[in-house]
Structure 1
């Protein structure tokens, strides 16, 4: 899948229900929250901004992003609907969002975190040039991308 095959769109009154209806495979449930929880974090917190991931006009995923005190941009709440997994959507989503976020002036890096037991997420993020830093956030490993390593498309 090409990066241009998906779009990152604001979550709106017209698409929030489609975002909330996204599900993952049962074995992935320990690693992600329900999208409704992420939407609440975005709406009632002061850090996260929600995005609907669409392909051909259909909501196929969700992600959120935020800015940390050190101006690093964070990717969180990544969900690709179970019916659409294995098609390269997660890879295209992370690449597209990473490129958007690193382009913001003054951004030192793009960061994300994941649970150590989530081998699929770890493989994906490391394959896209993120590096584990030794930092942790609770029980999650933090990885950062500085833009110095650009894996081939």
Structure 2
């Protein structure tokens, strides 16, 4: 019997949660694929693209992070900077956070759907994203592979 995934909520990063987000850690070796949470927070603060979301567990603790933004060119909703704290990895938190994002966030143009990018050697991310309906498009963003998910 399959265990249900964890229950998470996505909340805007604010004065009460930014320190917990900045303190998120990743498993050694993941730094080849993802940046530190502080890097993503700086992108959100200083670029007019990304909006930061803290991933909270059922008790309200910050266990992860993701950011999102709308592409001005095609209206798609981009997801990025997905981090699950090292102590909470392997429990379905990342999947739950992405499902929550896909459920609550909306592309500007409904036909545009969702998009994200990941390092081509990050097979764990590739598998997770593919299981959620993302497919590689042949596009690249810097050194990352772009995957998109069509609207349901």
Whether TM-score is above 0.5 comes out as yes
| SS class of match (1:38) | helix
Deviation at 1:27, TM superposition (A): 1.6
What is the CA deviation profile of residues 86-126 of structure 1, one whole-angstrom value per residue up to 9, with x for unaligned ones?
A: 11001111111012224x55231100000100000000000
Unmatched 5+ residue regions in structure 2? none
1:63/1:76 contact within 8 Å kept: yes
Instruction: Give the equivalent residue in structure 1 for 2:61.
Output: 58
User: Secondary structure of the residue that 1:26 maps to in structure 2?
Assistant: coil
Q: Secondary structure at the match of 2:105?
A: helix
Specify the SS of the correspondent of 1:106. coil
CA distance in 1, matches of 2:105, 2:53: 13
TM-score by length of 2: 0.92
- Distance in 2, matches of 1:19 and 1:105, equals 27
Q: Report matched runs for 1:35-50 at 5 Å.
A: 35-50=37-52
Determine the structure 1 residue equivalent to 2:148.
144
C-alpha RMSD of matched pairs (Å):
1.3
Q: Write out the 4+ residue segments of structure 1 that deviate beyond 6 Å after TM superposition.
A: none
Residue aligning to 2:71? 68
Alignment: residue pair count = 146
Question: Structure 2 residue aligned with 1:91, among 61, 77, 95?
Answer: 95
Q: Distance in 2 between matches of 1:136 and 1:66?
A: 17
Name the structure 2 match of 1:151: none
Alignment of 1:26 with 2:7, yes or no, is no
Structure number with the higher helix fraction is 1
